[in-house]
Structure 1
Amino acid sequence: MDLIWWLLWIFWFTAYIYVVIVVITDLFRDENLSGWFKALWIIALVFVPFLTALIYVIARGKGMAERARERYAGVPEADDYRPSASVSPAEDIAKAKALLDAGTITQGEFDALKSKALGNQYFGA
């Protein structure tokens, strides 16, 4: 029975620490709140931690959600980072040549892209 209480205590303590970290990060992310009010919230978190975290989540929970939504609104989906599939090696080499002619890449980078497009493992092949 002691093990169950110990595990329950560890769970609640970990959840509380997570809430405190979320509250502190939200405090520093809020641009509308003055520095003095931020300091007061931090002092209250130090001296009356559980009650302060509970009051903060109740009083400012809607604003916390809005700030989190704004933060993640500009983050593209993971699918946007996938490179497009190659159509043909000739097209890849042509794109690399256009980059070389524009001065965007060096001759060595062009050679590496050409080698990769042709499927060679070594640059000199």
Structure 2
Amino acid sequence: MDSDFPLLSVFLYMLWFFCFVLWIFLLFTVVTDVFRSQDLSGWGKAGWTAAILILPLIGVLAYLIVRGHSMHERQNRDAAAAADLWRAQVRSAAGRPSTADELSRLAELRDHGVISSNEFEREKTKILA
């Protein structure tokens, strides 16, 4: 059959290769999620990992059925934490003045008559919030 339709043979090999890559991706995603889960105990993580390694197809399908609904929540939580960390690092690298520096600058402006006491209090509330 392979010699009769060489293009079909190439297509089937590509399809099998794609399915294999998809399976490897799914396997790594599930194993990563097992270890990312903070609500699983050590024994729970060991059990799921053993199930995935001993019976890969059944283990992965069982994990997706039992715990798949919360995989995106853990992924989103980790992404939000990474984004917050990145923002904090950018702020610190940008040299944003500290709260005390901003308050002293506002006090100087008030003392020199550039802003009123009401404006000073309003801006101070924004800085301290």
Q: TM-score, normalised by structure 2?
A: 0.56
Q: Does 1:17 align with 2:16?
A: no
What corresponds to 1:52 in structure 2? 59
Distance across 2 between alignment mates of 1:56 and 1:63: 11
Larger radius of gyration: 2
Per the TM alignment, residue 2 of structure 1 is displaced from its structure 2 partner at its CA by 1.5
Per the TM alignment, residue 57 of structure 1 is displaced from its structure 2 partner at its CA by 1.3
Percent same amino acid at aligned positions?
35
Structure 1: which 5+ residue stretches go unaligned? Answer: 85-125
1:38-77 aligned within 5 A: 38-76=45-83
Pick closer, same or farther for the CA change 1:2–1:33 going to 2, 3 Å: same
Distance across 1 between alignment mates of 2:67 and 2:19: 22
Per the TM alignment, residue 74 of structure 1 is displaced from its structure 2 partner at its CA by 2.6
Q: Which runs of 4+ in 1 moved over 6 A?
A: none
In terms of fraction of residues, the more helix-rich structure is 2
Structure 2: which 5+ residue stretches go unaligned? Answer: 1-7, 95-129
Distance across 2 between alignment mates of 1:23 and 1:76: 23
Q: TM-score, normalised by structure 1?
A: 0.57
Distance across 2 between alignment mates of 1:57 and 1:70: 19
Per the TM alignment, residue 37 of structure 1 is displaced from its structure 2 partner at its CA by 1.6
- Which residue of the other structure, out of 19, 26, 33, is the alignment partner of 1:26? 33
Per the TM alignment, residue 23 of structure 1 is displaced from its structure 2 partner at its CA by 0.7
